[in-house]
Structure 1
């Protein structure tokens, strides 16, 4: 029977299982993710070489002239060295790790999850997936609020493949697309695309200001994609009281 159990465990039947409990499912980039990993032994004793947590999201990229979505690992954390789990034994392993500052916000199509894996030799590694909600930091939230105050509405948000100078640690950027629905920029701009590059002391903001075509010259510029201006600036939490004025001034220079 023991041999049969070992054979079955090697293909995932009656083997150890894993379940991760994350204490808080809503977090901001840079915060600590805390929880416990619960392991339950199967029908036979098994050696677990390592327990690891991986942070995943998805992004859109172009492949063979098609737009596809791919999963990508944005962080990996090893919890323990090897251990032995006996039949039906239960173990709980606490964990804590820091969310990367460039973890995307779970807005629009973007999802973020933690995958827990057990590395077991000669067996199917059991795994568990737990989704978490990534919300704006106070500074990012203040930028969103300022754009709303200026009359912009968020139309779309997604993670897309980054190229050239826009590629940092990760092969994608999270782009937020706003449209002016009221206020001073309605009728002047078609849209405003915003990307955040978070730093320890603030956020570098990249804005692409898409001016509305007016007259033949503007229509020609739009046809040639010359009606867009790219601007970068940095803000910090000290700027929050004046953020609406700062952002409004930046956009006005290019609208």
Structure 2
């Protein structure tokens, strides 16, 4: 999980920079630990700033390809102090990035989610010019409570199709969602309806808004059901989710 980027603007003997994510498997609310190593080239250089961005694939920014990864959306940014890089010498700096509780997932129930991608991107500012490094992809695994909700859908006969990150705030999409969202993006997880249930639609879109102690599960564009982590009970949560989904969808869709 590392990349090497040469600062070509500085000449043939430019310094090389490598960023390593020490724990590339993490969950929402977790902390990424990173090591940035710079090796000096043929001249002394002032690295004015090191920026670490955690980025995700956002559907709004990828218009032509369902798997494109060309215009990632920045979820969180940390700036590290700059430093003097003498010619031929090595300087190593460490950094940490705390992920928000609402961080989009790439993995759930022990498997990758189609459409879920996240990475760390490193930017260096040298002589007022920004050099953007490659992506170092990471895995963002579901919290136990998130896995429990997704397992509940599975137990009810729904089949997970894919996930998409949308930019903005849920109330802009549907004020009735009564969202407690704090981040400026959300992840929509799409399920196929059970074949045994004819509700007039092929898919159910669900949004999970997580916090430190609880999460909200929004079925479609409707208000959420809240689940408290300390009360995790798979059977009880499955029953609660089914009741909530049916309360909003069954009357309208058959």
Q: Please report how far the alpha carbon of residue 127 of structure 1 lies from its aligned counterpart in structure 2 after TM superposition.
A: 2.6
Task: Summarize the Cα distance change of 1:245–1:41 in structure 2 as closer, same or farther, 3 Å threshold.
Answer: same
Match of 1:174?
Answer: 187
Match of 1:59?
Answer: 58
Separation (CA, whole Å) in 2 of partners of 1:202 and 1:137: 11
Match of 1:116?
Answer: 122
Q: Please report how far the alpha carbon of residue 198 of structure 1 lies from its aligned counterpart in structure 2 after TM superposition.
A: 1.3
Q: Please report how far the alpha carbon of residue 187 of structure 1 lies from its aligned counterpart in structure 2 after TM superposition.
A: 2.8
Separation (CA, whole Å) in 2 of partners of 1:150 and 1:176: 16
Match of 2:198?
Answer: 187
Q: State whether structure 2 residue 108 is matched by structure 1 residue 97.
A: no
Give the greater-gyration-radius structure (CA). Answer: 1
My pick for the range that moved more, 234-243 or 137-146, is 234-243
Q: Please report how far the alpha carbon of residue 246 of structure 1 lies from its aligned counterpart in structure 2 after TM superposition.
A: 0.9
Q: Is the 8 A contact 2:119 2:136 kept in 1?
A: yes
Q: State whether structure 2 residue 237 is matched by structure 1 residue 236.
A: no
Secondary structure of 1:37 counterpart: strand
Match of 2:41?
Answer: 42
Separation (CA, whole Å) in 1 of partners of 2:186 and 2:149: 17
Per-residue CA deviation, residues 78-128 of structure 1 (Å, 9 max, x unaligned), is 122x31111121122122221112221122223111111221115563634
Equivalent residues in 2 for 1:147-226 (5 A)?
Answer: 147-162=153-168, 165-166=171-172, 168-181=181-194, 186-188=197-199, 190=201, 191-208=203-220
Task: Summarize the Cα distance change of 1:125–1:28 in structure 2 as closer, same or farther, 3 Å threshold.
Answer: same
Q: Which has the higher strand share?
A: 1
Q: Is the 8 A contact 1:151 1:186 kept in 2?
A: no
Separation (CA, whole Å) in 1 of partners of 2:192 and 2:210: 23
What's the C-alpha RMSD, in Å, of the aligned pairs?
2.7
